[in-house]
Amino acid sequence: MLQLSKKSIAQGQVFACTNKSENECFERLLFGTNRPYAPAAMRVRKGDFLFLLNLDSDILYGVFKAASDAKMNIQPEAWNGKYPYQVKVQPIGKITQLKDAKKLLTVLDIKRSFPINKEATMKLLELYRPSNSQMDEWFQFLSEPGSTPLEISKETKSWELLGDVKQISVQPNEEIPTLEATTLWDFPKQSYGKTPKGNNKYPGVTPAAIIWNLIWRYTDPRDLVVDPMCGSGTTIDVCKEEGRRVICYDISPTRPDILQNDSRKIPLQENSVDMIFVDSPYGDNVKYNEHPNCIGKISSETELFYDELEKVMKECHRILKSGKVLGWLIGDQWVKGRFTPVGFKVYQKLTKYFDTVDVICIARRGQASHTGLWYNRARRFNFFLRGFKYLFIMRKPSGEPVKLEQRMVKWKYYDRNRSKNTPS
């Protein structure tokens, strides 16, 4: 077993390019990526080890060090603005090429555009060690490199050191959610990563990955996110970790960084917020706090409940910038033989102020009714337990009237009779 000191070894990350974008990476000494890979790329800090994977040639170039923290648009004109999440890089010695890179990364269990922990970084760095250099000398050189000009070896290197490198013990990588691709979101855990987001014991706590997905789809680092009904502070914890500015309110704050305020009157200027997230009460089915003005003390079977939520919607519309997004999480109610379509009623109110981006179905987990006893009751007494919530993603209109013109959509139709022509 190899015994290597990781005291001075930073974490790493693999960026990607194509034949078309490779030259610009080298000429500018700049790596960049687009939104799907931004959550990982924006975690790069000055001094991290970086590698460049050419997806066309299947070559992995190394070794580079991050010469800056990752930022938005370090050079806005680079790659015609296609890859705005960027980091400046500095080569370490002569840049070496590793061939069959995709297979290599698979063998080492390293994902491109994803943070690589120190142990896995050491594995990858060892593959670039010159044959005439001892391991200790190589890692010392990597730890204290001087400024070197870009020089790329014309020879591609094989994996002759892989047998030894595979023996280095690797700890699990940092947990980062992925951007959801469908309208069905199901998160087995309330939080993610090394640090908790919110308090999973709080009644009706929001799954942190919902907020994570919203801010990475609809905001950029340093944008301002507001949560007017913050509960246990999940929105704060996610936004701070992902580099967003955040202001959170609650009528009965649970921690010092949540400001006390009634969401029906938000103390912010008009058109000043980049995104809003609301996880509102679904009625009086949950006891959130003792505050007498809490909307969660009003039954969702009454119109008063929706009238009070509409006041919150008006305030969200006022403070949100034109063209920006509001995410509203809500669930329906079934109690004592009566179903109340809370989600439909809330959505109807929202459409008075916002345009619809999409409607997401959020699987419900961790609630008290997820027990064998309640499942048995639902079957015996012929009712359904609540299995999902709605996430309404709404956009504030720009203010200019939208002309709805006739669209020509070319649908793909499948031949229903094709089986008749297929030999048996």
1 has pLDDT over 50:
no
Please compute the mean of the pLDDT values over residues 301-309 and round it to a whole number: 97
Q: 283 versus 401: which is more confidently predicted?
A: 283
pLDDT in tens, 209-230: 999 999 999 999 999 999 999 9
409 has pLDDT over 90:
no
pLDDT in tens, 120-158: 888 888 888 777 776 666 667 777 666 677 777 777 776
Distance CA(165)–CA(124), nearest Å, equals 8
pLDDT in tens, 358-377: 999 999 887 767 788 888 99
Please compute the mean of the pLDDT values over residues 275-280 and round it to a whole number: 97
Average pLDDT over the chain, rounded to an integer: 87
Could you say which DSSP state residue 344 is in? H
Could you say which DSSP state residue 36 is in? G
Distance CA(324)–CA(292), nearest Å, equals 32
Please say whether the beta carbons of 29 and 230 come within 8 A: no
Looking at 192-196, 257-261, 285-289, 395-399, which range is the least confident one? 285-289
pLDDT at 4: 42
pLDDT at 315: 98
Q: What is the pTM of this model?
A: 0.86
| Structure-block tokens of residue 345 | 């009623």
Looking at 3-7, 61-65, 84-88, which range is the least confident one? 3-7
pLDDT at 6: 45
| Angle CA 50–54–59, to nearest 5 | 85
Domains of the chain, each with CATH number or no CATH: 12-165 (3.10.590), 184-395 (3.40.50.150)
Please compute the mean of the pLDDT values over residues 253-276 and round it to a whole number: 96
